[in-house]
């Protein structure tokens, strides 16, 4: 049952913008066309060198719900934080400016949160190409799962129902009181989302795919390997240590999460032909240290293959990653 319109509170939508001229209109239009209308839409031009600044100023005169910020480039975290510093809504959601949302995205998240008296709500998403073709298998139904904090942190570590991404979630603005995204780092969602979970006694997940994540060339998370990708390792270790300290029963699922993070970074290093053998050996050692606990937590087929190959040694794992990478390239060509 939907909440009566007069009872709906202001929701802030934070959109950091940088070099997305090709995608920006579709993103902003999808927000303006939401069935939930009581919105404060904050468009942050993070020093974008293209026409994005001009585009958001044009939107400013089209709809009085829009606010714009023009700032020196400081990265995704700095831009999100700028939005958080000025937003007035009782609730907040984050949208990446190269993605877009379905018309009832905010309405659905709001109703999930209010009807279940929860502190945070989550929906699922679709991975789409730039042309709108769906890449992933989507389970879009009316299933709703209500979780206490420990159950939600289990799912966050497990990454099966939802991920640590800032998007596809509706937060209480008050929970950001002493939480901000780390400036100058990538994978900035990892050390932030779990802190917001730890402020929530009840979290609700609805299995409707209402957020459209666009796979595009040049995105930060898919660039060739560089040392900054180690941010993912540091942040995952930080999250798992804090979670296990509060909930020791989550040690096994935390080990699974760490195994996956180590494996993904190793995969990226191997496939990009990184020559940093010292770092590769260090990550392999970390992977081995959590391997036993991780295997008991139901890894994906790919991760089970990596687990098995890692038992045979680092060279076997590297060979397996190269073979899997070649197969993946062939599969992606068939999706175009």
Domains of the chain with bracketed CATH: 5-220 (3.90.550.10), 224-335 (no CATH)
**pLDDT of 89 above 80:** yes
Cα angle, residue 291 at apex, residues 286 and 293 outer, rounded to 5°: 120
pLDDT higher than 70, residue 177? yes
Given pLDDT bands bounded at 50, 70 and 90, which one contains residue 233? Answer: very high
- Whether this prediction's pTM lies above 0.85 is answered by yes
Residues 169-193 have a mean pLDDT of 95
Q: What is the pLDDT of residue 334?
A: 66
Whether residue 105 is predicted with pLDDT greater than 60 in this model: the reply is yes
- Give the position of tokens 């007069």: 6
Classify 67 as helix, strand or coil. Answer: strand
| Tens digits of residue pLDDT in 14-32 | 999 999 999 999 999 999 9
Phi-psi category of 322—alpha, beta or left, where left has phi over 0 and alpha has psi -120 to 50?
alpha
Contact of 108 with 30, CB cutoff 8 Å? no
Span 51-80, pLDDT tens digits: 999 999 999 999 999 999 999 999 999 999
For residue 220, the model assigns a pLDDT of 46
**Cβ atoms within 10 Å, residue 72:** 7
**Model confidence at 8: pLDDT above 90:** no
Cα–Cα distance, 268 to 233 (Å, whole number): 13
Summarize the confidence of residues 215-236 as an average pLDDT. Answer: 72
């Amino acid at each position: 049952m939907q909440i009566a319109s007069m009872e709906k509170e202001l929701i802030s939508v934070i959109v950091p913008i940088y070099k997305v001229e090709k995608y920006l209109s579709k993103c902003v239009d999808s927000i303006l066309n939401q069935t939930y209308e009581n919105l404060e839409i904050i468009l942050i031009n993070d020093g974008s060198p293209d026409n994005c600044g001009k585009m958001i100023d044009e939107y400013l005169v089209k709809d009085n719900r829009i606010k714009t910020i023009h700032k020196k480039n400081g990265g995704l975290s700095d831009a999100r934080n700028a939005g958080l510093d000025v937003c007035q809504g009782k609730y907040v959601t984050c949208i990446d400016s190269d993605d877009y949302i379905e018309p009832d995205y905010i309405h659905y998240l709001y109703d999930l949160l209010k009807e279940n008296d929860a502190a945070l709500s989550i929906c699922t998403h679709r991975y789409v190409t730039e042309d709108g073709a769906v890449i992933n298998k989507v389970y879009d139904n009316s299933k709703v799962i209500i979780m206490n904090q420990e159950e939600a942190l289990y799912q966050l570590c497990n990454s099966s129902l939802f991920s640590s991404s800032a998007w596809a979630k509706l937060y209480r603005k008050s929970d950001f009181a002493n939480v901000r995204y780390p400036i100058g780092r990538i994978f900035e969602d990892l050390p932030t989302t779990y802190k917001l979970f730890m402020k929530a006694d009840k979290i609700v997940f609805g299995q409707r795919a209402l957020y459209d994540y666009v796979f595009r060339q040049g995105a930060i998370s898919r660039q060739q390997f560089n040392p900054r990708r180690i941010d993912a390792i540091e942040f995952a270790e930080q999250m798992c240590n804090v979670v296990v300290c509060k909930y020791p029963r989550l040690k096994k699922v935390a080990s699974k999460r760490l195994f996956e993070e180590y494996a993904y970074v190793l995969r990226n290093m191997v496939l990009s032909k990184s020559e940093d053998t010292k770092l590769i050996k260090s990550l392999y050692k970390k992977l081995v240290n959590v391997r036993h606990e991780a295997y008991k937590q139901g890894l994906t087929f790919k991760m089970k293959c990596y687990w098995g190959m890692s038992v045979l040694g680092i060279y076997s794992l590297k060979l397996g990653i190269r073979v899997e990478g070649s197969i993946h390239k062939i599969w992606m060509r068939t999706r175009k």
